[in-house]
Structure 1
């Protein structure tokens, strides 16, 4: 095979961008997610500057977690019962309001950690509504065969935003302060609003269940009856709770790199740099059939890469190892999302995406809390390295213990969905 053909086979599949509705969503996210990355850096830095504690930075995860659990599950149930375009617009408006609120607190110089936590919680509420809704929209506007490619493109755009956003955030914090960072996020968020506004009407298909506790419980019961879906959630929780070192970044920048805001930006961007590379060369991902086993392997790689990053005090080695972890993480994300979108019928997809949102967004918040608490007890290096090693060991044992997950075949499911 010629080198050009080999590269083409492994580059990201761009066919979903030929669908106008998906292309608008993708471009809107490309712009708005840069602002998200800016705010992630600014909020963690502001909380650390106010409190001087990684535990408080980790508690930001708790402020996110409660709204994500409650409104993620509820928002997914609503997405199965109403026009998904309208729900996406409503959730986006909530998130944008929270962004404006956190900008105002910075402009007037409140420096109150509880006000920041409240703004973060409101933002998480909007995110918990839009996340499952957007995920449930994808299989409605694309053919089943294009869904894995669309998820790879989504991961690419999120990762690019997570690279550019933290770097821009570091520069803005160094030159303009918190208000400048939050103002950029508020401005860029409008691109996502526009993309949602331009979507076609997306009324529910199939049997409509009134959104509420019964609908949520039906969705959770569907997951519990499916070992494949359940284990796709479990392995992701293991990855994030045990190994994610994000809450340790402000302390690491302070202790290892002299408190440099630019070093903090690099730490926050490192995983995303690897994710960009992984997503760009993700053309092969859709051809993997035994995705359960593959998920376990790449999550173990993620844990080992995190552990290696915590063993060195050199900024560029930390960035390199975290980038390797980011490559493993983005591949894992594509497979997990594709399993969920194609395994569930359309009338369940909103609820499945709601549960997915709780795990994907809630797991890292629990990971933040774990990292901050263990750093307080055993120190920065112990919390960082120990978490990565524990992740690799636990996911290999747990992930390979369920036969249905080990034997999952993606090609057979795609044929049924088509």
Structure 2
């Protein structure tokens, strides 16, 4: 006579899903990358231009030092950049609210490419000139001041609100990659191939950036947006002056540029 098998225990609650691995928890959230085509384009464009910008950022003061032998002449580049950065930064904030942001980014990237081409042509001369280096440094600061507000405000439009934190983290990761690898690569290029090669790489990166910006979706302003005016710029300056946090940030930037 065979023994009957004991009855099976009643089914329990379903097993909980395994917790995510520690490695996955350390990885950035790629939701903005997957959901927004324009964010992907801007992220790649920004990474490319970081490398190109650092090429010029390293090569330009080194070339000034090579032409003059004066650390003071190198430090004067920061003074040349100061006024355009502040003035055009204020104007860029008003401009970003009144025109197509995509157009602002596209035109400023093209302008930066033209300035890099001027550096390249000057570096290829038998005797490179000094004054174009300062003119280009001031022009770069002006275009960067115009572009930054449009770029920052465009991020808020192309990325859903719930993914803004993830987008900021991905942009921070992009900046860290560029800030670490860019100067290192730029130093090697300048040391072994010269200033001209570094400027040629910069021109190529901005050409690629313009092509990527052409694929961005239009970002027109609101219908009731006010046109940029001197009054709006003055109001922006008054607002900045009334905010101690902003004044502290400006003071730190001024000190860094002066002592650098």
Q: Say yes or no: does 1:77 pair with 2:94.
A: yes
What is the aligned partner in structure 2 of residue 415 from structure 1?
none
Q: Distance in 1 between matches of 2:186 and 2:240?
A: 38
Q: Say yes or no: does 1:236 pair with 2:252.
A: no
Q: Distance in 2 between matches of 1:44 and 1:3?
A: 51
Q: Is the 8 A contact 2:84 2:142 kept in 1?
A: yes
Change (3 A) 1:168 1:144: same
Q: 1:45 aligns with which of 62, 81, 87?
A: 62
Q: Is the 8 A contact 1:85 1:196 kept in 2?
A: yes
Q: Distance in 1 between matches of 2:67 and 2:193?
A: 18
The offset of 1:73, in angstroms, is: 1.1
The offset of 1:138, in angstroms, is: 0.5
Computed over aligned residues only, the root mean square deviation of the Cα atoms, in angstroms, reads 2.2
Q: Say yes or no: does 1:170 pair with 2:187.
A: yes
Q: Say yes or no: does 1:14 pair with 2:30.
A: yes
The offset of 1:206, in angstroms, is: 6.1
The offset of 1:368, in angstroms, is: 2.6
Q: Is the 8 A contact 1:15 1:146 kept in 2?
A: yes
Change (3 A) 1:181 1:170: same
Could you list the runs of 5+ residues in structure 2 that have no partner in the other structure? 1-17
What is the aligned partner in structure 2 of residue 181 from structure 1?
198
Deviation sequence 1:153-204 (CA, Å, 0-9, x none): 2222122122222222222222211101100111011222122211111111
Deviation sequence 1:351-403 (CA, Å, 0-9, x none): xxxxxxxxxxxx2x6413124xxxxxxxxxxxxxxxxxxxxxxxxxxxxxxxx
Q: Distance in 2 between matches of 1:221 and 1:35?
A: 35
Please give the residue correspondences for 1:52-91 in structure 2 after superposition, counting only pairs within 5 Å: 52-91=69-108
How many equivalent residue pairs? 242
Q: Say yes or no: does 1:98 pair with 2:115.
A: yes
Q: Distance in 2 between matches of 1:123 and 1:76?
A: 17
Change (3 A) 1:50 1:366: farther
Of 80-89 and 215-224, deviating more is 215-224
Q: RCO greater where, 1 or 2, for CA within 8 Å and sep 6 or more? A: 2
The offset of 1:108, in angstroms, is: 0.7
The offset of 1:140, in angstroms, is: 0.8
Q: Say yes or no: does 1:143 pair with 2:160.
A: yes
Q: Is the 8 A contact 2:240 2:246 kept in 1?
A: no
Q: Distance in 2 between matches of 1:173 and 1:162?
A: 17
**Bigger CA radius of gyration:** 2
Q: Distance in 2 between matches of 1:209 and 1:215?
A: 9
Q: Distance in 2 between matches of 1:6 and 1:218?
A: 48
The offset of 1:222, in angstroms, is: 4.5
TM-score normalised over the length of structure 2: 0.84
Q: Is the 8 A contact 2:105 2:213 kept in 1?
A: yes
The offset of 1:36, in angstroms, is: 0.8
Please give the residue correspondences for 1:219-258 in structure 2 after superposition, counting only pairs within 5 Å: 219-223=236-240, 230-237=243-250, 241=252
Q: Distance in 2 between matches of 1:146 and 1:62?
A: 38
Deviation sequence 1:59-98 (CA, Å, 0-9, x none): 2112222211121111221110011111211211211111
Q: Is the 8 A contact 1:93 1:126 kept in 2?
A: no
What is the aligned partner in structure 1 of residue 258 from structure 2?
369
The offset of 1:3, in angstroms, is: 9.1
Change (3 A) 1:59 1:3: farther
Q: Is the 8 A contact 2:190 2:198 kept in 1?
A: yes
Greater helix fraction, Structure 1 or Structure 2: 1
Change (3 A) 1:237 1:12: farther
What is the aligned partner in structure 2 of residue 399 from structure 1?
none
What is the aligned partner in structure 1 of residue 235 from structure 2?
218
TM-score normalised over the length of structure 1: 0.54
Deviation sequence 1:25-47 (CA, Å, 0-9, x none): 10111112111111111112111
